[in-house]
Structure 1
Amino acid sequence: MSKTGAWLHYFANPGRFLRFVRPALPWAAAVSIALTVLGIVWGYAFAPADWEQGDAARIMYVHVPAAWVAMSGYAMLAGVSFFSIVWRHPLADLAAEEIGPVGAGFTFVCLVSGALWGKPMWGAYWVWDARLTSVLVLFFLYLGHIALIRAFDNPAHGHRAAAILALVGAINLPIIVFSVQWWNTLHQGNTISISGGARIYVTMLYPLLISTLGFYLSFLTLVCARMCAAIMERRTRTLLVAAAERAA
Structure 2
Amino acid sequence: VPTEATPPAPAPRSRFSALRTDLPHPARMYDHYLNGKNNLPIDRAAAADVLALAPEVRQMAFANRAFLRRAVSFAAGCGIRQFLDIGVGLPAAGDTYECAVLATEEARAVYVDNDPLVLAHARALSTRPGRVRVVEADLRDPGALLQRAGGRSGLDFRRPVAVVLAAVLHYLSDADDPRSVVGELMAAMVPGSALLLSHLAADLRPEAARATAETYRHSAAPLFPRPLPEVCALFTGLSLVNPGVVPVASWRADRLPRPHADRQWMYAGVGRK
TM-score category of the 2 structures, normalised to the smaller one: under 0.3
Whichever structure has more strand as a proportion of its residues is 2
Larger Rg: 1
Q: TM-score, normalised by structure 1?
A: 0.28
Q: TM-score, normalised by structure 2?
A: 0.26
Whichever structure has more helix as a proportion of its residues is 1
